Amino acid sequence: MELVALLSTGKGTWAQVAGLINHGEWDKVILIGSDFAKQFTSEKQFEFVEVDLDKKLKDLRDDISNKLKGKIKGTEVALSIASGDGKEHMALISALINLPVGIRFAALTKEGVIDL
């Protein structure tokens, strides 16, 4: 399964994303964030999709959707929204649903990677 994760401006939330990448078994990892998020590093390979998180909600959704077209091969993805705010989360979830692709929320806990 592919992992799609949002990286917003709060670096404190990036640890959850990094842990999820490093402890999960992913066919592919796609990270979505602004130019600021390009600073993110991981031991495992990932694809970075740059978007302008300051756009209006509908414009952000459309931007994410356009940039994800053709990048997701399966019918569903694991999704992390540990980083970001409500507007960013809504835009990303809406973009994924409109592709269309199913969503399983994923998180890293003390017990390991879990689906929610």
At residue 11, the pLDDT reads 63
- 31: domain range? 7-57+68-85+94-115
Average pLDDT score, the chain: 93
Q: Does residue 12 carry a pLDDT above 80?
A: no
Residue 63 lies in a domain: no
* DSSP SS3 for 67: helix
Overall domain count for the chain: 1
At residue 60, the pLDDT reads 98
Top pLDDT among 83 and 72 is at 72
Residue 1 lies in a domain: no
Could you tell me what percentage of the chain is helix, strand and coil, using 3-state DSSP and rounding each to the nearest 5?
A: 35, 30, 35
Residue 38 lies in a domain: yes
Q: Does residue 76 carry a pLDDT above 90?
A: yes
Residues 3 and 25: their CA atoms lie apart, in Å, by 9
Residue 103 lies in a domain: yes
How far is C-alpha 80 from the chain's CA centre?
6
